[in-house]
Amino acid sequence: MIRGVRGAITVSNNEEAEILTATKRLVEEMIKSNHILAEDVASVFLSVTDDIDATFPAKVIRMQENWTYVPVMCMKEIAVPNGLDKCIRIMMHWNTDVSQQEIQHIYLEKAEQLRPDLQK
């Protein structure tokens, strides 16, 4: 069965190095917390808010060991008034037998406020 694993992180600046470092941190935590293998991942969608455009955060996923052939796509998040600024969101589509309640969704930095109900 395919399940979605969510994650989000914020950055302070629209700078390539910071965006890539934050995305790498988030992806590694999602993988580690859920014991995800690249071969079990169907695809990964990443969205960024309008104030992030210095680089494609998906580059980091392709650089992970064994993740070269996992389809990844970047897109823009809906610009909702008073929404969270400088936010990178990830939706990983993962083939697993793990129940939805067991999935560890990862929210870091200011993105913790997006889903306080999922914080452990």
CA nearest 54: which of 89, 20, 7, 84? 20
The catalytic position among 77, 87, 102, 109 is 77
The catalytic position among 3, 29, 74, 112 is 74
d(CA 100, CA 107): 16
The catalytic position among 16, 39, 62, 102 is 62
Contact 1, 71 (CB under 8 A): no
φ, ψ dihedrals at 98, nearest 5°: -65, 140
Token pair 């970047």 is at which residue? 74
69 is catalytic: no
In total, the chain counts a number of residues equal to 120
15 is catalytic: no
The catalytic position among 69, 89, 109, 112 is 89
74 is catalytic: yes
77 is catalytic: yes
The catalytic position among 3, 6, 18, 29 is 6
115 is catalytic: yes
The catalytic position among 16, 28, 102, 115 is 115
Active site residues per annotation: 6, 62, 74, 77, 89, 107, 115
